[in-house]
Structure 1
Amino acid sequence: MTEVSARTEEVHGAMDDPGTGSGPPPARPRWVVAVPVAAVVVVLAAVPLFLAPFATTTLTRLLVFGLLAVSLDLLVGVTGLPSLGHAAYFGAGAYAAGWVSIHLTAAIPVPLLVGAAVGGLAAAATGWVAVRSAGVYFLMLTLAIGEVLAQVAQSWDGVTGGANGLAGIPAARLGGESLTGAGFLYWYVLGVGLLAFTAVWLLARSPFGAALRGIRDNEPRMRAIGYPTTLYKYGAFVAAGTVAGAAGSLLAAQQRLVTPDDLGFTTAAIILLAVVIGGAGSLWGPVVGAAIVVLVRDALGPGLGGHGELVLGIVFVLVVYLLPRGAAGLTTLRPSRRRRT
């Protein structure tokens, strides 16, 4: 038990200061973190009051993919399971929420809950096999799972609309009113995103999250001291799929169209790229990475003669060489202190 406690403390230290190798930093007053976070939330909430509808819609899309990136970071950065099929659960949640909105009700929070549940169930059905592998085998297995589900969406015309996608999704309704205005939809997505991000953050900071980081750092040792590592990884996989499904339901509400591309390899690769650019393991860093990806590819791409993906590739290369910990690593930079031996 002493060794387990020591390992848990070590992992908690890694969450506060990953990869420094010099132990956890001195404790900071809570207001040092709370004040900037509150300021960011206030600014985000006020955005629709100052931006045009198109810019607000772009920011709404950014928040959707930011939440998807956070869910993937729970696997990649916290658990050490890089996945190329995570978009499958995102798309499954989007299709489920869209189908419910069309055939049953678009009243909030029904599509959201259905999307999250379907994403979690899809992850539970496929994750039990996936988490029994590791490394490149896990990567390839998740890629195969994603492609299988994308093919199902492509061929199941009666439910998904096939190659044409699931169109005609009605606007989300709150209190009997449709959220057709860009600002109202943005506030809905922002509220759900903040709640989901808080839930993932609390999970990562919990003893369960500490165990996941221990598995990421040294799974054989965690197994040797009594942790059922496969069950822990399976729990993280299902949790990540549930959050991805919730993000998918937000995509259906924002885009009002779901296509097989939303759960295919392209989306999965782009989100993994966002996690790497933002900084795996930081949770908020992937949101920044998703913002960079969406802005470069979707907002700036048309103005760059269709070369948005090329610019995105250049950004990725620069981040890998200049910021190994991603954008989030900028907050942990310290003056180098060389020790004389």
Structure 2
Amino acid sequence: MTSLATTHPATRPRLRPAVRNATAVAAGTLLLAAAPLYLAPYATTTLTRILVFGLLAASLNLLVGVVGLPSLGHAAFFGVGAYAAAFSALHGTSGVPALLLGMAAAALVALVAGAVAVRAGGVFFLMLTLAVGELTQQAADSWESVTGGSNGLYGVPAPTLSGLVLDQPATTYWYVLAFFLAGLLALRLAATSATGVVLRGIRDSEDRMRALGYRTTLVKLGAFVFAGAVAGLAGGLLAAQQRLVTPADAGFETSALALLAVVIGGTGSWWGPCLGAALVIVVRDSLGATLDGHGPLALGLLFVLVVYLLPTGIARIRLRRTAP
């Protein structure tokens, strides 16, 4: 038995990728956790925005990379979660309860919208999700008594945790980081579960999965609602970090940027969309400030270069190099 275990080549190499991945995840988590200790407050705030936007992109990646449902209105659930959490905080309930309320509100809207959208496919799905996003933005712009209208909800109180007010860049960052990791883990578990296998089967051939007895519409609706709930969590984190929510947070531009982050990073990868989100934030905001407001132009050029040179996304560079 010992000789077989030591001589058979399939026994040892299988563990190496898992160990390397676990080591990389642990090292990355520690590096992110220590970031406020060696970054300036402005850089910490920027990194916090990247985490929020990265979670939004990762939730969209569940639809695009796993289910095969590219959405143009995913920011609707992001905005609903942000407004619900901000409204709750302004009325005395902040912190984790506000985040849970944002997730629940986003999941409810995703359930209503997805009941119609997931029955369609292709261009029709794109148009329906685009309509959901536009309707959500218009509702936020016109429902002044709840959303503050075009001015949005401002002066959102800082989140509190066990009586501690998280009003400093570092404490806000750690608060956002904890829920970012939790949301990313939930998305990862959903994608690698038995349901995730079914979702990939639906992506590849929905007719075949339906013939095997799966209720494909119901499964896609579940994934759509789950992705919407995680987007709502990201929206709640946005309200906690930015202390301001506007109708633009639920609009098409935010949805397009999230989809752009997924494409740049690589669909189906879980760190790729987060990396794409980081590039979008840095190019649009930080680099754009040094280019006299031409951040969108630089972002467009970046998108063209990535699609032309790396059509599968930045996250696939290593895989392409090591392929036999």
Q: TM class, shorter-chain normalised?
A: over 0.9
- Counterpart of 1:289 in structure 2 is 276
In structure 2, runs of 5+ residues without a counterpart are: 1-12
Q: Which runs of 5+ in 1 are unaligned?
A: 1-24
The equivalent of 1:161 in structure 2 is 148
Residue aligning to 2:260: 273
**1:13 aligned residue:** none
Q: In the aligned structure 1, how far is the partner of 2:271 from the partner of 2:194?
A: 20
| Deviating more after overlay: 51-60 vs 28-37 | 28-37
**Are 2:21 and 1:40 aligned?**
no
* Matched letter for residue 105 of structure 1: T
Q: Which residue of 2 aligns with 1:8?
A: none
TM-score, with length taken from structure 2: 0.94
8 Å CA contact 1:74, 1:283 repeated in 2: no
Match of 1:76 among 64, 73, 93: 64
- Superposed displacement of residue 29, structure 1: 4.3
- Identify which of 122, 135, 147 aligns with 1:135: 122
Counterpart of 2:218 (choices 231, 250, 262) is 231
1:38-117 mapped onto 2 (5 Å cutoff): 38-106=26-94, 108-117=95-104
Matched, 1:321 2:315: no
Q: CA deviation at 1:319?
A: 1.0
Query: Which of 108, 115, 120 in structure 2 is aligned with 1:121?
Result: 108
Distance 2:220 2:178 in 1: 28
| Matched residue type, 1:257 | L
> In the TM superposition, what is the alpha-carbon distance from 1:336 to its structure 2 partner?
6.5
**C-alpha distance 139-26 of structure 1, shift in aligned 2 (>3 A):** farther
Which one of 272, 293, 299 corresponds to residue 312 of structure 1? 299
Provide the rounded CA distance (Å) in 2 between the counterparts of 1:279 and 1:149.
Answer: 28
State the alpha-carbon separation in 1 of the partners of residues 231 and 193 from structure 2.
20
Q: Is 1:176 the equivalent of 2:163?
A: yes
Distance 2:302 2:204 in 1: 28
Residue by residue over 1:170-225, the C-alpha shift from the partner in whole angstroms, topping out at 9 and shown as x without a partner, is 01111212111100000000000001100110100001011111111111111111
Deviation string 1:148-183 (CA, Å, 9 cap, x unpaired) is 111100000000000010111001111212111100
Please state how far the C-alpha of 1:104 moved relative to its aligned partner: 2.8
Once the 2 structures are TM-superposed, how far is the Cα of residue 30 of structure 1 from its aligned partner? 2.3
Corresponding residue for 2:4?
none
- Structure 1 residue 26 displacement after superposition: 6.0
CA RMSD of aligned residues (A): 1.2
Distance 1:332 1:234 in 2: 31
- 1:274 partner amino acid: A
Residue in structure 2 matched with residue 10 of structure 1 by the alignment = none
2:222 and 2:292 map into 1 onto residues whose CA distance is: 44
**Share of identical aligned residues, percent?**
61
Equivalent position SS for 1:334: helix
Q: 1:115 to 1:271 in 2, by over 3 A?
A: same
Q: In 2, are the aligned partners of 1:279 and 1:325 still within 8 Å (CA)?
A: yes
TM-score by length of 1: 0.89
| Residue equivalent to 2:207 | 220
Q: 1:217-273 CA distances to partner (integer Å, 9 max, x unpaired)?
A: 111111111111101110000000000000000000000000000000010001000
Cα distance per residue 1:294-335 (max 9 Å; x no partner): 000011111011111111111111111111110111121136
Aligned letter for 1:248? G
Q: Secondary structure at the match of 1:84?
A: coil
The question of whether the paired residues in 2 share the 8 Å contact of 1:155 and 1:163 is answered with yes
Q: Distance in 1 between matches of 2:101 and 2:318?
A: 37
Change (3 A) 1:117 1:336: closer
Q: Which residue of 2 aligns with 1:5?
A: none
The amino acid across from 2:232 in the alignment is G
Letter in structure 2 aligned against 1:263: A
Structure 1 pair 335/208, CA: closer, same or farther in 2 (3 Å)? Answer: closer
Rounded Cα–Cα distance in structure 1 between residues aligned with 2:257 and 2:59: 14
In structure 1, C-alpha distance between the alignment counterparts of 2:321 and 2:246, rounded to whole Å: 45
Q: Distance in 2 between matches of 1:26 and 1:321?
A: 34
SS in 1 for 2:241: helix
Matches within 5 A, 1:203-214: 203-214=190-201
